[in-house]
Chain A
Amino acid sequence: MDNLLVRAQNLSKYFTDSSGIHKAVDGVSLNIHRGETLGIVGESGSGKTTLGRTIMRLYRPEHGQIWFDGKEITNLNKGKLRPYRKEIQMIFQNPYESLSPRFTVGEILEEPLYIQKIGTKKERMDKALRLLEKVGLPRTSYHRKIHEFSGGQRQRIGIARALILEPKLVIADEPVSALDVSVQAQVLNLLKDLQAELNLTCLFISHDLSVVHYMSDRVAVMYLGHLIELAPKEELYRNPIHPYTKSLLASIPVADPERRNPYREPIILPEKPLYPPQLVNIGNDHYVSANMIHIKKFEIESYQQEMSYYK
C-alpha cells in the first residue's frame, strides 16, 4: 500500500483584491505520510493557513495538483468532494468563534454525522457520547450549550467534532494559540494521545515553534508563501540553514533565566524571491530552498579560506 496519504505538487493559491494579486501560497510541494504529524510554522501572513485549507480543498488552487489517498482531488466539484470531506477534518483556531452558541454540544457533535447521513438518531447519540468521554468531558455535557465551557473545554469539543467522522487526516490550524499556556498543555497532550490511539495523520499548523516541536515528526517552514525548509524536527532544530528559520529558532524565549543571552542573533528577514524556491535534499531528509545552498557553500568556503590564513 502506498505510504503517502497526501501529495501536493506545485500548489499555488492567489487572492485578488483592488491592489492586485496576492500570492498567498506559491509553488508548494509536499508529502504527508500515513500516521505522521507534519508541522507547519511561519509568521502570520506566510500562507500556512491557506495551505492547510487548499489541501483540504476549501479553496480551489490556481496551479498544481493534490492527491489524497492515491486519487487526485484537485478539480473535483462540490458534490464529488463530499465523500472526501469525511476523510479530512479540521480543528479551528478559536474555540470561542468556531462553535455555534445556539447549539447544544450534542447537536454540534452530531451535525457532521447528520450531513454525511451516517447512522440512526440513536447511533449518532451513542457516538457523540463516546467521543465526549474520549476527549475527557463528562457525558452530561451532551445537553449543555457552549457558553458553559471554558476555553480548554471548548477546544476539546472542537477536537471531538473533528474526530467524530473518523477522518484519515486532521488539519489542526493553530489549535492552542487562543488558549492560556497552562491550558495549552492539556489540549496538546490530548491531541497527542488521540493521535497515537487512532493512528491519525495530522497536519499541525502553528506559529509557536516549541509547540510544533512537541507535536510533530517533521517540520515545514513557510515564509511569504513559499516553503523554504523541511526536515525531521530534530534535524531542523539542530541544523537550521535558511536565515529565516535561524531567526525563528533564536526568537523562542528560553524558559531559563540563567541562560539569558544579551547578544542574541539578529532577526533576518530575507526578501521574497521572484520565483518559488526549489527544494534540495542535503542529507538526513533535510530539504532546503536551493538558493540557500549557495550561501551555505559560500560560508564553508570563506571559513576554509580564513583557516588557511592562519596556517
Chain B
Amino acid sequence: MDQHILHVKNLSVSFNKNKNKMTAVSDVSLQIDKGQTVALIGESGSGKSITSLSVLQLLPPNGQLEKGSITFKGKDLLKQSEKEMRRIRGNEISMIFQDAIASLNPGMKVGVQITEGLKYHKLVPKSDLKAEALQLLEQVGFKNPAHIYEQYPVQLSGGMKQRILIAMAISCKPQLIIADEPTTSLDVTIQRQVLDLIDNYKSDLDASVLLITHDFGVVAEYADWVYVMLGGHIVESADVYTIFKNPVHPYTKALIESIPNPEKSQERLKSIQDFTFEKVGYKGRTFAPETYTLESKSFNAPSSLVEVEPLHYVRFYDDERKVVSIG
C-alpha cells in the first residue's frame, strides 16, 4: 500500500528541438506525504518546473514523457484519460504559477475568475458562487471582499494578484497544491504573507504542498523535506533540518552559503561562480552536464542516489564519494 499522496518514480522528460532530443528531467523520484510541505530547489533550467508540469500533464507539445510513473492517491496519473485529468486538475491538485500577471485573464473580474474552478467542477450551485467567492477573498486576507470582487487584474498590485491566484487554487479544496515560485518578484513583507497563507491552508485541511523555489531562506522557513535539483537530476534529498546541518553535495553547500545573512557579518559571499558546466547540451543527448568543475576540480557523470545517513540521499560524483566515505 502506497501511503504517499504523490509518488513520482524514475521520471524522465525530454524535448524535441530541431530534431535533437534533449533530456530536461532524468530519473527523478520524489514522494510527498499527507500534510507535508516538500521543497524542490534548484536554479533556472534545472528541471524543477518541468517536473511539476508533468505531474499535471501540462507539458508543452514538444515535451515527451520518456519513462517513469506518477502515482497520486494510488492512481497512476499517466494512465488517466484527458477527461479524467481535467477532473483532477484544480479539483484535487492545483497549481499556483509564478507569473501572476500572465496567469489572470485581464478581461474578467477577479471575483468571477476565482469561481471558474468551482463552476467547472460543479462543486457549488450557481446561485452560491458569488457568496463562495467573497468568502475565499476574505480567507486570503482581503478586508473588503465585495470591493475586490468587482476589480479587474490591472487594478490590483502584484501581491494582491498573487493572493487572488491562491484563492483560485484553494477554491476546490485540493489535497495537493503545487506552488511554482509563488513569491519570486514580491517584496519580503508580501512574500511572508503569501507563504503564510499557503501554509495556513495546508495545516487547516491537512493538505500537502510542493513548493518550487530557488531561495533557501524560504525553504528553511516552510518546508519539511527538501529535494535539490541540478541539471535535471535530483542531487540531494533529506529533511530540512538535516540538509541545513549537514549538506553533503557541493552544490547544496554552495547554495546555502550564497545567501547573505544579516546576522553573521560576512566578509564575502561564497558564490557558485566557479561552478561552470563544461558540457551542457543542445549538442549532446542530454541537458544535464556530464562533467562539471567546481573549485577547479572536475567531476564525472553522476551515479545513482546513495543513502549517506538514514533518510539522507546524495547523488555523488566520482571524486566526492571518497570525501564522504572518510567522514
Contacts and interface: CB of A to CB of B under 8 A. Distances in A.
B218 interface: yes
Interface centre among A151, A186, A188, A248 (most CB of B within 10 A): A186
Contacts of B270: 185
Interface in A152-194: 177, 180-186, 188-189, 192
A214 interface: yes
A207 interface: yes
Nearest to B275: A182
Nearest to B254: A182
Contacts of A55: none
B272 interface: yes
Given A180-B214, A257-B220, A251 B189 contact: yes
Contacts of A21: none
B241 A214 contact: no
Interface residues of B, number: 41
B259 A255 contact: yes
Interface stretch (B75-83, B190-198, B293-301, B315-323): B190-198
Nearest to B267: A192
Contacts of A267: 189, 192-193
B273 interface: yes
Interface string B220-238: 1101000000000000000
Given A44-B187, A186-B271, A214-B266, A181 B258 contact: yes
A255 B272 contact: no
A184 B215 CA distance: 11
Interface string B257-275: 0111111001011111101
A20 interface: no
B201 interface: no
B272 A189 contact: no
Contacts of B241: 257-258
A181 B244 contact: no
B254 A252 contact: no
Interface in A133-163: 136, 151
A253 interface: yes
B189 A181 contact: no
Interface residues of A, number: 38
B317 to A, nearest CB: 18
B206 interface: no
B220 A254 contact: yes
A29 interface: no
A210 B260 CA distance: 6
Nearest to A187: B271
A183 B185 contact: no
B100 to A, nearest CB: 13
Given A182-B272, A213-B262, A257-B240, A251 B188 contact: yes
B76 to A, nearest CB: 33
Interface string A205-236: 00111110110000000000000000000000
A160 to B, nearest CB: 16
A2 interface: no
B217 interface: yes
Contact of A45 (B44, B157, B261): B157
B255 interface: yes
Contact of A260 (B191, B215, B220, B259): B220
A43 B215 CA distance: 19
A247 interface: yes
B214 A181 contact: yes
B272 A211 contact: no
A255 B244 contact: yes
A43 B259 CA distance: 20
A180 B256 CA distance: 13
B220 A184 contact: no
Given A214-B269, A257-B220, A252 B188 contact: yes
Interface centre among B220, B244, B255 (most CB of A within 10 A): B220
17 contacts: A180-B43, A181-B43, A186-B271, A186-B272, A188-B269, A189-B273, A192-B268, A208-B188, A210-B262, A253-B221, A255-B259, A255-B261, A256-B244, A257-B221, A258-B241, A260-B220, A267-B193
